[in-house]
């Protein structure tokens, strides 16, 4: 069975400093992995996805994530945080291609201090 663990429920950074949101997954098969962002009282927006191509995936708004099979990790990073990055971030795993169900992590709330 597949599962997702987001290692931090809350991360706080200062504006202009790097962001690291950690995600570990468990899957018996080659997974597809996603990061979604949710701003307060809004829907979910796709940041990036990994589907067995390049292990370093670049997304929108300067975010990127690296798939490390040996560590079963898919951490999300950004070199320099912006105030508008404050939101909740979800790591998601899917097995079974476009017919497989999504398993969500519990989320990491990112706060950005001025």
Q: Please report how close the Cβ of residue 61 comes to other proteins at its closest, in angstroms.
A: 17
**How far is 68 from 15, CA to CA, in rounded Å?**
28
Contact with other proteins (CB under 8 A): which of 49, 59, 62, 66? 49
Return d(Cα 82, Cα 105) in angstroms, integer. Answer: 23
Stretch that binds other proteins, among 18-26, 44-52, 54-62, 70-78 (CB under 8 A): 44-52
Is residue 89 a contact partner of residue 35, using CB atoms and an 8 Å limit?
Answer: yes
Please say which residue, 79 or 96, places its beta carbon nearer to other proteins.
96
Applying the rule CB under 8 A, the residues between 12 and 41 that interact with other proteins are 32, 34
Among 7, 10, 15, 40, which Cα is nearest to 112's?
A: 15
Q: Does 1 bind other proteins (CB under 8 A)?
A: no
Asked if 59 and 34 touch (Cβ cutoff 8 Å), the reply is no
CB of 49 to other proteins, least distance (A): 7
């Amino acid at each position: 069975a597949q599962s997702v663990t987001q290692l931090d429920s809350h991360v706080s950074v200062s504006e202009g400093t790097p962001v690291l949101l950690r995600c570990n997954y468990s899957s018996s098969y080659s997974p597809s992995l996603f990061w979604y962002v949710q701003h307060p009282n809004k829907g979910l927006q796709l940041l990036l996805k990994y589907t067995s191509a390049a292990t370093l995936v670049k997304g929108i708004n300067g975010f990127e994530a690296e798939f490390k099979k040996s560590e079963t990790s898919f951490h999300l990073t950004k070199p320099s945080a912006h105030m508008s990055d404050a939101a909740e971030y979800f790591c998601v795993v899917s097995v079974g291609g476009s017919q497989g169900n999504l398993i969500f992590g519990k989320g990491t709330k990112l706060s950005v201090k001025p």
